[in-house]
Amino acid sequence: MTILVTGGAGFIGANFVLDWTSASPETVINLDKLTYAGNLQSLATLDGNPQHVFVRGDIADSALVAQLLAKHEPRAVLNFAAESHVDRSIHGPQAFIETNVVGTFSLLESVRAYWQALEGAKRELFRFLHVSTDEVYGSLTADEPAFTENHRYQPNSPYSASKAASDHLVRAYHHTYGLPVLTTNCSNNYGPLHFPEKLIPLIIVNALQGKALPIYGDGQQIRDWLYVKDHCSAIRSVLEGGRVGEVYNVGGWNEMSNIDIVTHVCALLDALRPRADRKSYAEQITYVSDRPGHDRRYAIDARKLERELGWRPAETFESGIRKTVSWYLDNNPWVEAVLSGSYRSWVEKNYQDRG
């Protein structure tokens, strides 16, 4: 038995591949384009493991995808491949349209052709699982109820708009062609192997390097925070038991403001890796001008996933964030390898005019 994972060298995808190979005997075909956030070093422990087959390529390469499907005959395709950073989508939206919209369309076409040629149990049991985001639902006020699967789509950034488009394509391929799809919409992930452009790894890396800890606006933007290993277990649950054609929201039941996240990380670093001068890392916090169109609050209602499949996160925010900070402290070679010149150039570009 085999599954095909796209984007399996990225943050969530790599964590999923590592968890899958440790818990299942099934082979993983891992297709990843290896853009800036794709990192084979994240999968170094699988070097030489025949259970993991890595293929460098684009989900929009129809010939390559068709070849992989024909050769390996996967029972499922899980689509993690996406451009995912809001700030990058503001600076350069075209890549998000190409990967998240055109790429998803091309992948769906390839998978549809493969699935329609299957027969019997192979056709009946096949699944296409699309990994998406809560950002497609837009922004909530402080007193609005959390996003359910029936919440209206109201994307506010080029990134979330491109993911919304991909979600709609997946839905359409089920209703038009009968393709057996599943969609998950997750809240903000954090954990090991996270590229340090997102809030939590950026704060950890900058703090340890003595740099400013940039906080957008007033820092009161609220997100629901989900430990990445919990997200991986949720995806496995949906793949195994989710109802075809359904959407499942995945959240950590941890609504926290950005400034509270940052002060919490600073307090952990104070305890685990104190500054030489014994002052708090919180002294490095710097407020900068806000992101254009910054959504104020996201919140996930994950009760459908719990009700139908019995899933709940195993980690509290306190336990998950401690594991995350400890991982970055214990894996400096991985961190140093990703802090390349291109990464530094991006950070400078994104924050240079926000002082």
pLDDT of residue 345: 61
- Residue spans of the domains in the chain: they are 2-190+227-252+293-314
Query: Which is catalytic among the residues 32, 83, 87, 134?
Result: 134
Which of 197-201, 276-280, 323-327 is the least confident region?
Answer: 197-201
User: What span, in angstroms and rounded, lies between the C-alpha atoms of 216 and 223?
Assistant: 14
Query: Which is catalytic among the residues 135, 167, 197, 224?
Result: 135
**Confidence category of residue 87, pLDDT binned at 50, 70, 90:** confident
Is residue 124 annotated as part of the catalytic site, yes or no?
no
pLDDT of residue 38: 87
**Hey, how many other C-beta atoms are within 10 angstroms of the C-beta on 159?**
24
The proportion of the chain whose per-residue pLDDT surpasses 90, expressed as a percent, equals: 88
In this predicted model, what pLDDT tens digit does every residue of 211-269 receive, in sequence order? 999 999 999 999 999 999 999 999 999 999 999 999 999 999 999 999 999 999 999 99
pLDDT of residue 172: 98
Average pLDDT, the chain: 95
User: Domain 2-190+227-252+293-314 has what CATH class?
Assistant: alpha beta
Query: Which is catalytic among the residues 114, 159, 173, 227?
Result: 159
* Encoded amino acid at 97, one letter: I
Is residue 134 annotated as part of the catalytic site, yes or no?
yes
In this predicted model, what pLDDT tens digit does every residue of 33-42 receive, in sequence order? 998 888 999 9
pLDDT of residue 342: 60
The whole-number average pLDDT for the span 58-82 is 98
Q: Does residue 284 surpass a pLDDT of 70? A: yes
Query: Whose structure tokens read 């010149």?
Result: 341
pLDDT of residue 309: 98
pLDDT of residue 337: 86
Contacts 24+ apart (CB under 8 A), 64-73: 64/31, 65/31, 65/106, 65/107, 65/110, 65/111, 66/110, 66/113, 66/114, 68/4, 68/29, 68/31, 69/4, 69/110, 69/111, 69/114, 70/114, 72/2, 72/4, 72/27, 72/29, 73/2, 73/122
Q: Does residue 155 surpass a pLDDT of 60? A: yes
In this predicted model, what pLDDT tens digit does every residue of 102-153 receive, in sequence order? 999 999 999 999 999 999 999 999 999 999 999 999 999 999 999 999 999 9
Q: Does residue 351 surpass a pLDDT of 70? A: no
The whole-number average pLDDT for the span 269-283 is 98
**Confidence category of residue 341, pLDDT binned at 50, 70, 90:** low
